[in-house]
Structure 1
Amino acid sequence: MLTSLLKTITKGKDLSERESTIVMEQIMEGTISDVQLAAFLAALTTKGASEGEIAAFAKTMRRYSMHVPCMTDVFDIVGTGGGRTKTFNISTTAAFVIAAGGVCVAKHGNRAKTSRSGSADVLEALGANIFLSPESCLAMLQDIGICYFYTRYYYYMMKRIDAVREQLGISTVFDVLRPLTNPAQASYEVLGVNAPHLVEPMAHVLASLGVRHGMVVYGQDGSDEISAAAATTVCEFTPKSFSTYEIRPEDFSLPRAERDELRGGLPKYNARLTRRILDGEKGGARTAVIMNAGAGLYIGGSVLNLYAGIRKAARLIDSGLARQKLDDFIVISHHLGEAEKIQLIADKDPEDMI
């Protein structure tokens, strides 16, 4: 079956929904070899994954991934990675501002792949415990309105796939699929992509996955987030409408950032920068965070429009509420982690502890 599908792809033809579902089922179940997987990913990258293929792949991946049902609708802000600008952890920093604004944020992410610091890396450098059970994540979401799902903890089948991807050393369809498989299956989302041709197709994919209000953004300086140094292409959507437009920092009376102000480094560097921004430090990095946080506040329903979201994001930082949300996140993540350890010991058979 895979051989015939490879022939279809190498001829430049798109797979049907059924064919896409079958091949992703084989990948998830591990019934194809590493060589076959690499050949498929390379061929698909050469052809370019279609909107229909990505949607079918994502739906199938969700069936094979752990689902964590939430009591309320949640929001996610995430990027595909692979952006040319190698920025600091803007969406992770923005997540705390968004949560401080009353939006329930169920963020998910991983360690660095194309940058020097992934969301998991910077959260650890900030002092948080990222190894929490689904139950603890839900408790954190209910308590402080934000939690973090570390993807390696939830998607056990990805270990082998990631090893093949790393050996290939090229962008693959999994770069855009990983952000689509949040365990909480967010109803509201801001998704950053690393190429302009992905903006509108990915908006349609998110809508097909059940996202009720979302934005797909591409910074025209090559960043997979709303850029503070250039114009950003946005496709905003609801179940009934899709609208593509551009935004710029000056549209919101914000000065453009210099690219060096947005450049990230190792986790400890990015963690220090996150703290400085949430402590109110001015500059281009702050502009990037409040623009992305403003989009999250708007998409998450905290404000009526993007302009109001950006103004509110600035107030949440200056009031100290965003920094307090980060501090609460760190403290509670460790309290829950300790509670999990105590429960694990309590659940052991006494004979096993002799």
Structure 2
Amino acid sequence: MISISPLLKKIIARSPIEEPELTTARESLPNDSVDLQPRHCLLIGLLKAHGYSLNASESRMLDDMLDDEEQVASDGMPAVSIASLLKLLIHKGRVLPDSIAVAVAFIFDNKLSTSQCALLLGLLAYTGYDKDPQVLAKTGRTMRAAADQIDRQELRTAVGKASHAFGRYEGGLCDIVGTGGDGHSTFNVSTTASIVASSILLLSKHGNRASSSTSGSADLLQAIQPKAPIIEAVTAQTLPKLYGKSSYAFLFAPIFHPGMGFVGKIRKDLGIRTIFNVLGPLANPAEGQIEARIVGIAEQRMGPIFAEALSLTGAEKVMVVCGAENLDEISCAGKTNCWNVVDGKASPKIETFELEPADFGLCTHPISDVAGGKSPSENAKILVDLLENKLNANHPILDFVLLNTAALLAVSGACEDPMEVPQDGYSDVVIKERGPGGQRWKEGVRLARKAVESGKALDSLSKYIEATHSLQMR
């Protein structure tokens, strides 16, 4: 089978295309619409959008894809047609973000045909609408609305009972998450940082299995030995109960977003990055209770876009980060660009600044030193060793985790104690120094390091694991 995904990526990126490559791809197209795979559908649509002349067979198949009467969903039921929207995208007409959000909503209900779903995802990438702040904000809201719904009052009550607010941290839920796709395959730093931070904050970590790396957040957690959490036990119904026993929760995306199952095979067949590769950080099912978050992105140009999208959702206490090497974390190797949403719901504005390890009082380490293991089990062992305080004080992975944990603690307000009274179990030397963005990054490292050294971070993981097993037994 000829792979046409590289060609699809080139067309979307407006990269030069060699004629033989194009000819080979077109010759691989079937002659009948019923034999079209998602990648074939998108190739025909992109050829038309990019200004290529379609031959008779390609024109006929495109007409079939855009025929309002011929659309059938994957379950064999009649599908909703979004032909008018697709035609606007093909011909570069103006499309409203609300129209895109409505079309994406049909995906979660399995109401689109395979061909129209493939065209929608690819054309959003080709036209750049998948990088529009309003589109991201509205489709993120659509994705949350399609998720299994958490009882908001129950969750609010549970969070209120479990919270341990101090400083300027008000006791709400926090998240640290990356879009993935940076190509660096580093250790699972955001997941580990979320566990360390949960000894101080309430965490609602939204994540999934690996997409482009070898070890995603879910893979890591399920590989923990000797006893792994039952991540599937945390559902919309059980989440409020979990916070009665644990300050940490992992919201496994397939459990909370079952509608994503309808598009999985299409995305795999297309072999390109789509809007769904960046929607995860905007689709935390516990959104209404999220007080603070760090969002890592894998492209510098997406920084201000993501920050604006988050501000449009009303998010407060949020910082978007991208390492200088296009790392979707705060980099341990050098500079990290930051976009901080200020004033949240009132009159949001975005401040930009740079961070580097020295701002946290830490040394730099090459990215190659934080690659972690080659499998989830290897990374899980590193995670447990770190939490058991077995890593050297200046171990590259420990520093990498401390950097990112400290950032979440600082953004949450946990590093700000107006009385300057240290929390129980921590050093009495509060670090008042402020760095870029006006935050106490070094104080964040102090708190994070003490969480590891005191065993509180390990205890937080243990309580989460036991809580998931107790939920499973109900």
TM-score by length of 2: 0.68
Is the 8 Å Cα contact of residues 17 and 53 (structure 1) preserved in structure 2?
yes
Q: Is 2:299 the partner of 1:195?
A: yes
Aligned residue among 239, 243, 250 for 1:141: 243
Provide the rounded CA distance (Å) in 1 between the counterparts of 2:91 and 2:322. Answer: 29
Other-structure match for 2:275: 173
**1:46-70 deviation digits (Å, cap 9, x = unpaired):** 2222111111211222221123232
Other-structure match for 1:30: 110
SS at match of 1:143: coil
Other-structure match for 2:176: 77
Distance 1:316 1:13, change over 3 A: farther
Other-structure match for 2:147: 65
Other-structure match for 1:122: 220
Structure with the greater relative contact order (CA < 8 A, sep ≥ 6): 1 or 2? 1
Aligned residue among 84, 98, 110 for 1:18: 98
Is the 8 Å Cα contact of residues 138 and 147 (structure 1) preserved in structure 2?
no
- The offset of 1:33, in angstroms, is 1.1
Other-structure match for 2:410: 298
Other-structure match for 1:131: 232
- Equivalent residues in 2 for 1:106-255, closer than 5 Å: 106-126=204-224, 127-132=228-233, 133-185=235-287, 186-238=290-342, 239=344, 240-255=348-363
Distance 1:13 1:220, change over 3 A: farther
Other-structure match for 1:285: 397
Is the 8 Å Cα contact of residues 95 and 105 (structure 1) preserved in structure 2?
yes
AA matched with 1:130: I
**1:274-301 deviation digits (Å, cap 9, x = unpaired):** 1122223131111111111111112222
SS at match of 1:82: coil
Other-structure match for 2:135: 53
- The offset of 1:332, in angstroms, is 2.1
SS at match of 1:106: strand
Distance 1:284 1:6, change over 3 A: same
Other-structure match for 1:39: 119
Provide the rounded CA distance (Å) in 2 between the counterparts of 1:106 and 1:258. Answer: 30
Provide the rounded CA distance (Å) in 1 between the counterparts of 2:414 and 2:274. Answer: 35
AA matched with 1:287: D
Provide the rounded CA distance (Å) in 2 between the counterparts of 1:57 and 1:15. Answer: 14
AA matched with 1:44: L
Other-structure match for 1:325: 460
- The offset of 1:14, in angstroms, is 5.4
- The offset of 1:226, in angstroms, is 0.9
SS at match of 1:23: helix
AA matched with 1:337: Q
Q: Is 2:451 the partner of 1:313?
A: no
AA matched with 2:178: G
Is the 8 Å Cα contact of residues 149 and 285 (structure 2) preserved in structure 1?
yes
Provide the rounded CA distance (Å) in 1 between the counterparts of 2:383 and 2:95. Answer: 43
AA matched with 1:213: K
AA matched with 1:5: L
- What runs of 5+ residues in structure 1 fail to find an aligned partner? 341-354
Is the 8 Å Cα contact of residues 15 and 53 (structure 1) preserved in structure 2?
no
* Aligned alpha-carbon RMSD (Å): 1.7
**1:309-337 deviation digits (Å, cap 9, x = unpaired):** 12211221122211221122222221222
- What runs of 5+ residues in structure 2 fail to find an aligned partner? 1-80, 160-171, 417-438
Is the 8 Å Cα contact of residues 87 and 223 (structure 1) preserved in structure 2?
no
Provide the rounded CA distance (Å) in 1 between the counterparts of 2:335 and 2:308. Answer: 22
Provide the rounded CA distance (Å) in 2 between the counterparts of 1:298 and 1:153. Answer: 30
- Return the structure number with greater helix share: 1
- Equivalent residues in 2 for 1:80-119, closer than 5 Å: 80-101=179-200, 103-119=201-217
Is the 8 Å Cα contact of residues 120 and 150 (structure 1) preserved in structure 2?
yes
- Deviates most, 139-148 or 264-273: 139-148
SS at match of 1:148: strand
Q: Is 2:337 the partner of 1:257?
A: no
Provide the rounded CA distance (Å) in 2 between the counterparts of 1:197 and 1:267. Answer: 30
AA matched with 1:76: D
Is the 8 Å Cα contact of residues 182 and 326 (structure 2) preserved in structure 1?
yes
AA matched with 1:105: L
Q: Which protein has the larger Cα radius of gyration, Structure 1 or Structure 2?
A: 2
Provide the rounded CA distance (Å) in 1 between the counterparts of 2:202 and 2:296. Answer: 19
**1:114-143 deviation digits (Å, cap 9, x = unpaired):** 111111111111111101133433222232
